A and B are shown apart, each in its own frame.
Chain A
Amino acid sequence: ATDSATPVLGLDADLKAKKQRVPTAKLDESRLLSQNGIPKLRKNAKTKLKFKGKGHEFSDLSRLLNFYQLWLDDLYPRAKFADGLAMIEKLGHTKRVQIMRKEWIDEDKITRGD
């Protein structure tokens, strides 16, 4: 009965310092819609993306792909290009992103004056 107090108080038990892990960043809706996400993509596309046109199809295509790859690397450096694309595609099915997608298209319609 003498040492019955210890388990109750827990004085002798080894104190384990739990390391606080930084939660791993996730590629989710809010990240995708944040400033670094699609808004940046839209902004940059207007200024940075220039194509040479006919006769340069493959270099144009690679330019386009690289543009996306670098953008994705900035947004979520953890994922490989193909993985990142698949994750984003999946996010595209969520309600929030779908509403935004509609909006972007509508914006496009308005600026074109349709």
Chain B
Amino acid sequence: GRDVQVVDPEVRAHVYSLVTALGGFNGEDASKYCLGDDALACLRDIKKWLRLYDDKTNRLDVARCLGESNLVNGDLLPIIASWRENNGHTKKHLTRIALACLELLVPLTWPVEIHSQMTVNHHRHTPYLQQSQVNYKRGILDKNSGLETLRAVIQIGLPSLALARSDRTNRDEGILKLMLYLFRNVAMISPPRGLAAEGDEEETSRSATINAFQDQDVFALILTICSNMGDDFSFQDVILIEILFHLVKGVDVQKLFMNDAQRSVKRKDELSDLLRKETGVKREYSKNAPTRHGRFGTMIWVKRDDAKVSTVSGQDVLKDGQVALNKMDQTKKWNRPRHGRRQEVEAASGDFNLTTNLTSTATKTLRTFVEEFLDTGFNPLFIHVRQAIEREAERVLDIHTLQFLYLISWFLQVERVRRSTRRKEHEKNKGTSREFEPDSFSIVAGVLNQETFVFLDRAMQYSFDNKEWQDLNANMRCFTQVLLTVQEMAASPLEEDQEIAENIQNRIFYEEITHDRILSMVRGYNEQGFGYLDSCTELLHVFVRMLENYSKENVDMQVRSKRRARRAAKTKESPKNKDIQNDEEMASEDEDRVDAIRVSRERTFDFKRFAARFCNQKSVDTFVKFTTYYRELDDEQLKRAHRFFYRVAFKQEMSILLMRIDILNLFYRMIKGPGALDNSKPIYRDWEELVKQLTRRVVKKLDQRSGIITEMLFSKISSTVYFLEYGHEKQTLSFG
């Protein structure tokens, strides 16, 4: 009865007959799954179909047929369950069948994603398969029908797991891989965005996954493998990274460490915050809402120069000239065409910018797991993975770097929040509990060593050069968290920690290249999306603040700077240059020479000079873009933007950079509306004061130099900035 054959009918017939022959629920006891006579052969045949038809010819037809015939939920899961319940592991034949089921489960749950090399068939089947994979996940996590699939899968892997690493055969390693990949797939599958969900979404949510992992001892298994990484396990490291990534991506660390009471308070706060916001919106509306009916038909003239008038209709405009002007603007229909960067098709599973909410049980479970993981498995796993990535081991894929970096940032944040909650708890019951013993930071030391910094550094440069923004985003977050952790270490009561922190800071701040790169990442914002904006502004904020403190404490701070002595070399070699005809040759030689004559030398670091360098139009523009999201930003983010502008305008005396009508317009809207910030918040006062001070300067400047009236329309040219700010030309001194 199908109108369109999406799959070759013969293929469908073959696959269906195999699935039917596998077995079913139609023996004497209808609740019991009966294996067909040749079940193992059937399973192997299905696997062959998948491999030889789907993989070889690059289609997804067999996978689709298997989805339509309900193989996973109807056959594979019941077979695995009955194997576990009937002590199947004692029977060799049944164990083989269970393993064959697992061998099918893994490819069937393997995430199908939109990628660049899709064929017509892929496009046809992908939405269907995504939908059915969610169903598979529902079946795998389903506890109500008595299936404990995850536990059964562990049991399949257990004999291989128990062997010492040297005794394991390739087959054993393969089984371990299958087992872990299944967990990865389960963690990774999520309802596709943009497709209507079928059934209860709760059953396949992150919370459900976490709970099932806890109930069926998957977490225990992960902890065991992670803490023995390097000894008993080796090749499994990147799969574990993937599992962890898909479990924790987008989880709010702060919320993880609140107890129920705090969380409900927080939630109430959020609710009242939202309600307040809503009343704000309503109030603003009612302020300007018509007081009479919709056809009352008021019309006013706005008198303008040269005896011209504009007409605006509506009663609201009577009240206030500002409203009339706003309305004049809003009623224009034309929009400026925008040629933005086309949003790349981002694999939904790799996106860590989306926040995920967990239920309170799942939060508790995840928290326990994460704490245990930090205490035992963090260092061995992360050191091992870093080495694997550096060695470019065969199992390592591009995506792993991103996941690795994101996980570092996430776990470092966890560690910091855990410490602060502990400290707070201790302060609360000061009298009753025993003396507070500060922990050392050694449990995260695996990512705070020189090797990791070199790794971070290189990865950051690489993704920046190759324009891999999502990677760079993860990298920036990671670097931010490293900085924050080091800062906390420096404040630790343990002398050893302080010493290490001092050392690390020395290294981080010693390389001027790092300073330059952070600046260029902020300046390089060009439609990379909000996630990038958020990360790069946060990194700059944290970095500058710490660098400032550090250079204050270490007055004689030295940095290693790589300067080019290009000009000198050029004049020296110019006669030789003329002989070379081949452009390409010249270019490459040029590069070599530039490299060769880059000299590195040490010089005293001057924070003022550094700060002056990020006061330029480009970084101001980046922060302005960030600030345009002011209605969605939280207090911390608003503070970040405020501090930056404050520094530019008043500490560095470059308020001229902010004197642009579009920036002033944005600032004015933030304070006075429409759509202003919530004026009951403390951050509002900060902003109000900033805009006030800035306006004062603008007025003064307009008074002093009338030429600025035109310059307010444009980004300033660097040659005139100094004159506009100070009213005289820059005195150029020659430095020796």
Interface residue ranges of A80-114 to B (CB < 8 Å): 80-83, 85-89, 92-93, 97-98, 101-102, 104-105, 107-109, 112, 114
A81 touches B329 (CB 8 A): yes
A58 touches B332 (CB 8 A): no
Chain A min CB distance to B665 (Å) = 6
Q: Does A53 contact B (CB under 8 A)?
A: yes
Chain A min CB distance to B307 (Å) = 13
Chain B min CB distance to A40 (Å) = 9
A51-B702 CB under 8 A given contacts A70-B304, A78-B334: yes
A45-B723 CB under 8 A given contacts A53-B699, A89-B662: no
The complex places the Cα of A65 from the Cα of B705 at a distance, in Å, of: 18
A89 touches B714 (CB 8 A): yes
4 more contacts with CB within 8 A, not counting A70-B304, A102-B717, A105-B711, are: A57-B691, A70-B305, A73-B328, A79-B336
A104-B665 CB under 8 A given contacts A61-B695, A69-B329: no
Nearest A-chain residue to B727, judged by Cβ: A114
A62 touches B668 (CB 8 A): yes
A112 touches B691 (CB 8 A): no
Contact string, B316-335, partner A, CB cutoff 8 A, digits 1/0? 00000110010011101011
A45-B332 CB under 8 A given contacts A58-B692, A101-B717: no
- Please name all residues of chain A whose beta carbon is closer than 8 Å to the beta carbon of B706 when the two chains form the complex: 42, 45-46, 108
A61-B664 CB under 8 A given contacts A101-B714, A107-B707, A114-B728: yes
B714 touches A42 (CB 8 A): no
Interface residue ranges of B690-730 to A (CB < 8 Å): 691-692, 695-696, 698-699, 702-703, 705-707, 709-715, 717, 720, 723-724, 727-728
B662 touches A104 (CB 8 A): no
Select one of B328, B672, B692 contacting A62, CB under 8 A. Answer: B672
Give residues in A with beta carbon < 8 Å to B.
38, 41-42, 44-46, 49, 51, 53-54, 57-58, 60-62, 64-66, 68-70, 73-74, 77-83, 85-89, 92-93, 97-98, 101-102, 104-105, 107-109, 112, 114
B715 touches A92 (CB 8 A): yes
Secondary structure dominating the interface of B: helix
**A-B CB proximity, top 5 nearest:** A108-B707, A92-B714, A83-B336, A57-B695, A45-B709
Q: Does B671 contact A (CB under 8 A)?
A: yes
Contact string, B470-510, partner A, CB cutoff 8 A, digits 1/0? 00000000000000000000000000000000000000000
Select one of B308, B695, B707, B727 contacting A104, CB under 8 A. Answer: B707
The complex places the Cα of A108 from the Cα of B713 at a distance, in Å, of: 16
11 sampled A-B residue pairs with Cβ under 8 A: A58-B672, A61-B691, A61-B695, A61-B698, A70-B304, A73-B328, A80-B329, A83-B336, A89-B713, A92-B715, A104-B711
The complex places the Cα of A84 from the Cα of B489 at a distance, in Å, of: 50
Q: Does B138 contact A (CB under 8 A)?
A: no
A80 touches B696 (CB 8 A): no
The complex places the Cα of A48 from the Cα of B582 at a distance, in Å, of: 62
- Please name all residues of chain B whose beta carbon is closer than 8 Å to the beta carbon of A98 when the two chains form the complex: 717
Chain B min CB distance to A64 (Å) = 7
- Please name all residues of chain A whose beta carbon is closer than 8 Å to the beta carbon of B329 when the two chains form the complex: 69, 80-81
B660 touches A89 (CB 8 A): yes
A82-B665 CB under 8 A given contacts A89-B715, A107-B707, A114-B728: yes
The complex places the Cα of A5 from the Cα of B692 at a distance, in Å, of: 80
Q: Does B661 contact A (CB under 8 A)?
A: yes
- Please name all residues of chain B whose beta carbon is closer than 8 Å to the beta carbon of A102 when the two chains form the complex: 717, 720
